[in-house]
């Protein structure tokens, strides 16, 4: 399946790229957003694009040939954004984009193990050359740790129950593929909840993926770096796909929105604090019915945008 970037029209409307401007795409993926930005910024515009997945990086070769030096593509983790930008002499970007979704190629690859729709290996790493796998998490984590990540990262009601089932099952036979994990999850649920086992499975798979890739830590680290890297008037756009990501983005924007924190009885401000952003999306932007009809995977996407003041 060809990957379609979500909310691409809305991203362009908010970022409003102009000729000669510099942008950062912190999550290049299949390049859909980057290509649109490069087409808008003309021969002098540049995009610094970051991609963690080696396979996606290799697949980007045609884009590098098409855009030449205007596309600076780096295989790295966006938690290293400040260092990457410094290395490539990007000091003030007019816009920075994070699209936190997975590509169709990643989701549909059974060797990734990101979906239980087909049987595959329990890897779940975005960069399959580094770090530990979901298989190792399931093999080694005690009940308490499994329950914690299922609860915190999956927001799963039956987190401890499923964690106990995993540890019990692995003592008899290793849970070694996505189908056997799904079966274990389903069996662990109360009879009344088994009709919606797929929902619990989605939450458990999400939790494992977040743990393996340290996704929330990376986002919390990258957002302040992105704000620093923006030029005054530059815009930070983030597309999230679940409540944990969206909450981090919302709180970050709220923190940057705060002004004076002096007690109300003070006659004048002495803290010197002032709002650092203007939030452009009062509520998160979601996909239109037209987009959902063409790309159902956009259903959970939420776009938030803030503009740097200064």
With 80 as the cut, is the pLDDT of residue 4 above it? Answer: no
Fold of 8-99+216-308: Rossmann fold (3.40.50)
pTM over 0.85: yes
The reply to whether 78 sits in an annotated binding site is: yes
The reply to whether 233 sits in an annotated binding site is: no
Share of the chain above pLDDT 70, in %: 99
Range in 72-76, 99-103, 229-233 the model is least confident about? 99-103
Domain extents in the chain: 8-99+216-308, 106-213
Tens-digit pLDDT profile for residues 85-143: 999 999 999 999 999 998 878 888 888 999 998 889 999 999 998 899 999 999 999 99
Give the per-residue pLDDT at 64. 93
With 50 as the cut, is the pLDDT of residue 39 above it? Answer: yes
Give the per-residue pLDDT at 106. 86
The reply to whether 86 sits in an annotated binding site is: no
Tens-digit pLDDT profile for residues 144-175: 999 999 999 999 999 999 999 999 999 999 99
The reply to whether 63 sits in an annotated binding site is: no
> Residue 262: which pLDDT band, with cuts at 50, 70 and 90?
confident
Share of the chain above pLDDT 90, in %: 87
Residues 56-72 have a mean pLDDT of: 94
> Residue 3: which pLDDT band, with cuts at 50, 70 and 90?
low
> Please, what CATH class does the domain formed by 106-213 belong to?
mainly alpha
With 50 as the cut, is the pLDDT of residue 67 above it? Answer: yes
Return mean pLDDT, the chain: 95
DSSP labels, the chain: -----TTHHHHHHHH---TT-EEEES--TTSHHHHHHHHHHGGG-EEEEEE--HHHHHHTHHHHHHHGGGEEEEES-GGGHHHHHHHTT---EEEEEEE-SPPHHHHH-TTTT--SSS---S---SSTTSS--HHHHHHH--HHHHHHHHHHTT--TTHHHHHHHHHHHHHHS---SHHHHHHHHHHHS-GGGGGGHHHHHHHHHHHHHHHHHTHHHHHHHHHHHHHHHEEEEEEEEEEE-SHHHHHHHHHHHHHHH----S-TT-SS--S-----EEES-SS-B---HHHHHH-GGGTT-EEEEEEE--
Tens-digit pLDDT profile for residues 20-29: 999 999 999 9
Give the per-residue pLDDT at 1. 42
The reply to whether 25 sits in an annotated binding site is: no
């Amino acid at each position: 399946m060809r990957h379609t970037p979500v909310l691409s029209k809305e991203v362009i409307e908010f970022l409003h790229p102009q000729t000669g401007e510099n942008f950062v795409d912190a999550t290049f993926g299949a390049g859909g957003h980057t290509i649109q930005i490069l087409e808008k910024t003309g021969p002098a515009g540049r995009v610094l694009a970051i991609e963690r997945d080696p396979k996606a990086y290799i697949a980007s070769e045609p884009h590098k040939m098409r855009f030449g030096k205007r596309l600076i593509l780096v295989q790295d983790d966006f938690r290293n954004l400040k260092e990457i930008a410094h290395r490539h002499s990007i000091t003030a970007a007019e816009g920075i984009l994070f699209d936190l979704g997975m590509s169709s190629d990643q989701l549909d690859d059974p060797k990734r193990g990101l979906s239980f729709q087909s049987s595959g290996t329990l890897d779940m790493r975005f960069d399959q050359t580094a770090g530990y796998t979901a298989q190792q998490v399931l093999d080694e984590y005690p009940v308490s740790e499994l329950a914690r990540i299922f609860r915190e990262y999956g927001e799963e009601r039956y987190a401890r129950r499923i964690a106990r089932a995993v540890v019990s099952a692995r003592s008899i036979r290793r849970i070694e593929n996505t189908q056997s994990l799904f079966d274990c999850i389903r069996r662990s649920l109360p009879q009344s909840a088994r009709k919606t086992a797929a929902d619990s499975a989605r939450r458990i798979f999400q939790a494992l993926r977040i743990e393996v890739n340290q996704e929330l830590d990376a986002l919390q680290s990258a957002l302040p770096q992105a704000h620093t890297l923006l030029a005054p008037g530059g815009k930070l756009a983030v597309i999230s796909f679940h409540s944990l990501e969206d909450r981090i983005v919302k709180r970050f924007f709220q923190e940057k929105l705060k002004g004076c924190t002096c007690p109300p009885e003070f006659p004048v401000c002495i803290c010197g604090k002032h709002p650092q952003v203007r939030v452009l999306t009062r509520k998160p932007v979601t996909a239109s019915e037209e987009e959902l009809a063409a790309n159902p995977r956009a259903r959970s996407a939420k776009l938030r945008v803030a503009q740097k003041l200064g």
